[in-house]
Each structure stands twice: as C-alpha cells, then as structure tokens.
Chains A and B, each alone.
Chain A
Amino acid sequence: MEAESPSFFIPGRIIIPFNYAAGAVASRFFVALRDHSKILGRRCPQCTRVIVPPRMFCVRCFTPTSQWVEVKSTGTLVNFTVVRRPEPHHPLKVPFAYGVIQLDGADTHLVHLLGEIDLERIQTGMRLRAVFREKRVGSILDIAYFKPEDNEKSS
C-alpha cells in the first residue's frame, strides 16, 4: 500500500504530577542542606568510603552504610563541561557549565553547576566552594552552584 501524503498527526500530551519518595537517608541529607547549609555523607563500614550524596547502602560492598559524616562545602573539580545549545529543561541559560566535584572529606563525586566562573578558563583540579541559596527548600539546588575558591577568578 502506498503511503498517502501528507500523514495525519495526532497530538499527544502527557501530564503526570510525580511525587518521588526520597527515602530516609536522602531526606536527612536534604533537611541538613535546608536547615543548616551542611552537606552530609554516609560511611560504608566495609570499604570505609564516605559516600556523597549519601546512600542507604554501599553499592560496591552491597552492605548498609553505618555512619553519618559531615563533609566540607569546599572541594576539587574532577571534570566539567560547558553547555552551549539551549534545551527547555535546562536549569540555566546557555552557556553554562557543570562539573563533577569531589568535596573535601568525601570519597565519591557530586555533579553540580559551576557559577561565578570564567567559562573559558575552567580547569580540572580547581578548588571550589559551594554557594548556598538564601531560601532553601530541601533540594540539591539549595546549593545554587560551586564557585572558584580563589577570589581572583570570576566571570
């Protein structure tokens, strides 16, 4: 059968308000961000890694994590990218950067936005500091972004 042209289109729209349970461990992490601007991790009793963001169990050891550990809000940039093409779901207008960050005291990495930063001069190994929002709600974006710790570098 020959295709008739042009084809018809049926428009579709999917609207579902999701309400994701964070779980007890992630909840405590978000509450610490919201109420105290503190970043918490969990330690695995077997491999002793401090996991940030915290997990109920250590994926490597398949064992429940056992201890809350407060990590610093400073860290080192492990990797990064600069986004230049706009998409509707982006949290910021392009161009913007985000990266993989190892906080001081953590053994794992956090993914977050980079701000107050010259996009052309980002380097892995840079020292960064978390910038907390004034109004915090219990979300990873209670940290607005990470900025260079060195005050000379700014956008």
Chain B
Amino acid sequence: MSKEELLRIPIKMDLEYRYPTGKHFTHFFRVLKEEGKIMALKCPKCGYVFLPPRPACGECHVPLEEWVQVSDKGTVQAFTAIHFKFFDANLGRVRPVPFGSALIRLDGADSSLNHYLEENDVTKMHIGMRVQAVFRENRQGNIGDILYFRTIR
C-alpha cells in the first residue's frame, strides 16, 4: 500500500493596517518629528515617569496628563544580541541578524524603552552602560525616528 499523501495548503496572509496614534501618542510623535525631543508622561500620584508614554499609571489607576521632556541619553537596564534568524511579519522576510537590543532608561524617565543598540557584540555591552539616541535625518513621526542608541563614554 502506498504511503498516504499528506497535503499542506499554503496561503500567504498579506494585510495592511493603519493605526491612529490617538490622544496621548500623537503628542509624543509630533514633538519627536518636529522638534527632535523625547517626551514622557508623569503620574500625578506616584511621580513615576513613563517612557513610552502611557494613558494611565498601571499602579495608581489614574490618567496621565503631565508631559515632561526626557534626555536623549540614558542607561542600559538589560541587553542582548539576537542571533537567530526569524521571519519578520512586518518586513515580510527574515530580519537581518545579529543585532543588539536593549532596555534603555533615558535620563528623567523611570520606565525603559526597548530599542536597537548600534553595538551587536555582547562583550562590549553591560548593564549600566551609557547610550545616546541617534536620530533619523528626515523624521516621520514614529519610533523609527530614533534609529538606534550608540554607546557613549
């Protein structure tokens, strides 16, 4: 008896979306685009400064309205170098590796931003290292306006 043929049906999903940034994020992206500044939101109750900005403080359950500017320099809280090849659904192809990635607490903020490091060699990374944002030439008003963070002394 011949081996049963087991079929796989290939169907490629290719969908486009359009996400409005809404009340809080619009201000962040507008200032980033037009002034090259990074803004964060501060909780009126506990004083925690959220970057990325959040509509509400998760601990205090109060809405956030007070914008504060934070520095473009910060401290690495966590780091890694990604080596495995994976299919990036947003690019529609495998993302180039290796790349460095970190959680960065910008001076003035309390939470951390997940972003690229210019560095991809882990022997040159450590928690506590100082980094600075490198901005895109023609800013468009999205998180990619910060290209990556480079190590500074």
Contacts and interface: CB of A to CB of B under 8 A. Distances in A.
CB–CB under 8 A between A and B in the complex? Answer: yes
Interface in A24-70: 24, 26-28, 30-31
A52 B146 CA distance: 55
A12 B8 CA distance: 28
Nearest to B143: A10
Interface string A108-138: 0000000000000000000000000000001
Contacts of B119: none
Interface in B24-77: 24-27, 29-30, 65
B11 interface: yes
A4 interface: yes
Contacts of A27: 4-7
Interface in B84-140: 87, 89-92
Given A14-B15, A16-B89, A8 B141 contact: yes
Size bracket, chain B contacts: 20 to 34
A7 interface: yes
Contacts of A24: 4, 6
A135 to B, nearest CB: 16
B23 interface: yes
B12 interface: yes
Interface string A1-15: 101100111111111
Given A22-B7, A31-B5, A9 B12 contact: no
Nearest to B14: A15
B13 interface: yes
Contacts of B141: 8
A14 B90 contact: yes
Given A14-B90, A19-B9, A24-B6, A4 B30 contact: yes
Interface of A: 1, 3-4, 7-24, 26-28, 30-31, 138-139
14 contacts: A3-B22, A4-B23, A7-B22, A8-B21, A9-B19, A13-B14, A14-B14, A14-B17, A17-B11, A18-B10, A21-B7, A27-B4, A27-B7, A30-B7
Contacts of A139: 9
Nearest to A17: B12
Nearest to A28: B4
Contacts of B6: 21-24, 27
Q: Which 8 A-B pairs have the closest CB atoms?
A: A15-B92, A12-B17, A8-B21, A27-B7, A7-B20, A22-B7, A17-B12, A10-B19
Given A3-B26, A13-B17, A16-B13, A26 B89 contact: no
Contacts of A9: 18-21
Given A7-B22, A13-B90, A27-B4, A18 B14 contact: no
A15 B19 contact: no
